């Protein structure tokens, strides 16, 4: 069973970057998920799919995987350039380059 080591992206419900600096180790699924016929829930017999470990750095996650003999893959993230911030009042500034219209 191969483990994935990566930095999670922010969720759609997040406006900030909280919990995106940590590195996560989780396992690839061994069995496909199955829809239970009685209740309609999604289930799996794979217990390691519920395991998610967080580490402060990439090196700590790799060291943990090597110490415990876990085969792993590291997925690097590409950091996007930060957006230039401007205030709401700049939309109505007198010296604005393009005219503000609806």
- Listed by start position, the domains of the chain span 3-10+19-77
From residue 56, give the alpha-carbon distance in Å to each of 17, 53, 74: 15, 10, 15
- Third-level CATH fold of 3-10+19-77: Double Stranded RNA Binding Domain (3.30.160)
Q: How confident is the model over 34-89, as pLDDT tens digits? A: 999 899 998 888 888 889 999 999 999 999 999 999 999 999 887 766 767 778 88
Task: Give the pLDDT score at 100.
Answer: 65
Q: Which of 25, 20, 18 is nearest to 53 (CA)?
A: 25
Does residue 102 have a pLDDT over 70? no
Residue 79: Cβ within 10 Å count: 7
Give the CA radius of gyration of the chain.
22
SS3 track for the chain: CCEEEECCCCCCCCCCCCCCCCEEEEECCCCCCEECCCCCCEECCCHHHHCEEEECCHHHHHHHHHHCCCCEEEECCCCCCCCCCCCHHHHHCCCCCCCCCC
| Mean pLDDT to the nearest integer, 8-15 | 81
């Amino acid at each position: 069973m191969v483990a994935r080591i990566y930095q999670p992206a922010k969720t759609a419900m997040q406006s900030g970057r909280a919990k995106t600096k940590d590195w996560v180790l989780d396992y690839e699924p061994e069995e496909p998920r199955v829809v239970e016929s009685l209740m309609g829930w999604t289930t799996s017999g794979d217990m390691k799919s519920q395991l998610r470990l967080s580490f402060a750095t990439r090196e700590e996650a790799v060291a943990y995987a090597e110490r415990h003999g876990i085969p792993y893959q590291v997925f690097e993230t590409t950091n996007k350039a930060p957006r230039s911030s401007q205030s709401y009042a700049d939309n109505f500034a007198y010296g604005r380059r393009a005219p503000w219209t609806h």
